[in-house]
Amino acid sequence: MPTVSYREALNQAMAEEMEGDPNVFLMGEEVGYYNGAYKVSQGLLARFGEKRVIDTPIAEGGFVGVGIGAAMVGLRPIIELMTWNFSLVAADQIINNAAKIRQMSGGQFTLPVVFRGPGGSAHQLAAQHSQSTEAFWTHVPGLKVVMPSTPKDAKGLLKSCIRDNNPIVFIEGEVLYGDQGEIPEGEYTIPIGVGEIKRVGTDVTIIGWSKMAKVALETATLLAEQGISAEVVDPRTLRPLDEELIVSSVKKTGRCVILEEGWPYNGVGAEIAYRVARLCFDDLDHPVERLTGNDLPMPYNRKLEHHCVPDAERAAELVRKVLYLD
């Protein structure tokens, strides 16, 4: 299978969908002549032209609204947000229009629009540029929320999202763009709402998405050196959530640790923990544990930033606690 970077996988997905459907277009800040702030749209302007790869002003509320309107009249826009931190400027459009118009119109309108861009912390981008916003969007009925962790998942899920007839929040890991991975040859898609077991294990289930799926795998490697077999579950989609996969894994292992980069209060991990506790109550040998980002705005200082984001060492310590080894 060919090996590509996370950003190249996303680029391939958009190019293939634009090639196959003339109603698909890309719009956002610097997506055209600059080839994207993270070079995800490299070469698309030259290939598809200015009518389908559209540079916008720095006005998220404006161009997100244009994308919603375009979807209402039959186009299939991909709206790139330079970072999901900036989506807060367009929250009214996403929550009060994109998520609600289909229901409020009695199904007369569909909203086939994908809002995509990088999310989570990167490296010393400080408080206003290091937020994990997925908990905001998963709270909203009418939105689907997708967070791939690998190039294979990024391409397959983005293609499915572009073809879907609902508004989708597609959050890309800001530090994952350079990651390399194998992808299947030829045409493929990955269904929305289907998670994946990234590593099979028997002693504990570790759940993580986006960058935290990568941390979960690093944690599992550390634990294996200590004779502990960890199963790593990547939901890939947070809304809808593959509850069946998570439950089956936890029922097998009897223990669950959730890794989440976002803040702890009302986080996505809290929702998953509630479902696991409710559906696996008789199978759990220890209460569900969570390792989250610290409950404060992200510091700029590198050492403090590192302390605020879950890592494999701290996750392994928590797993040992769950196994009553510490």
Backbone angles phi, psi at 185, to 5 degrees: -75, 145
Instruction: Tokens for 243, please give them.
Output: 């509850």
Please report, as a single letter, which amino acid is at residue 242. Answer: D
DSSP codes of every residue in 22-60 = TTEEEEETTSSTT--TTSTTTTHHHHH-TTTEEE--S-H
C-alpha to C-alpha distance for 293 and 307, rounded to whole angstroms: 9
Query: Angle at CA 181, nearest 5°, toward 18 and 153?
Result: 50
The catalytic residue among 8, 17, 60, 134 is 60
Instruction: Tokens for 138, please give them.
Output: 């998963």
Single out the residue of 120, 49, 114 nearest to residue 83, CA to CA.
120
DSSP 107: T
C-alpha to C-alpha distance for 304 and 309, rounded to whole angstroms: 9
On the CB side of 153, how many CA atoms lie within 13 Å of its CA? Answer: 28
Query: Angle at CA 172, nearest 5°, toward 261 and 104?
Result: 100
Q: Annotated catalytic, 60?
A: yes
C-alpha to C-alpha distance for 299 and 125, rounded to whole angstroms: 9
Single out the residue of 56, 34, 44 nearest to residue 10, CA to CA.
44
Positive or negative CA dihedral for 11, 94, 213, 196? negative
C-alpha to C-alpha distance for 209 and 146, rounded to whole angstroms: 9
C-alpha to C-alpha distance for 154 and 179, rounded to whole angstroms: 11
Instruction: Tokens for 312, please give them.
Output: 């494999």
The catalytic residue among 29, 129, 172, 261 is 129
Question: Taking a C-beta distance cutoff of 8 angstroms, is the pair 143, 99 a contact?
Answer: yes
Active site residues: 60, 129
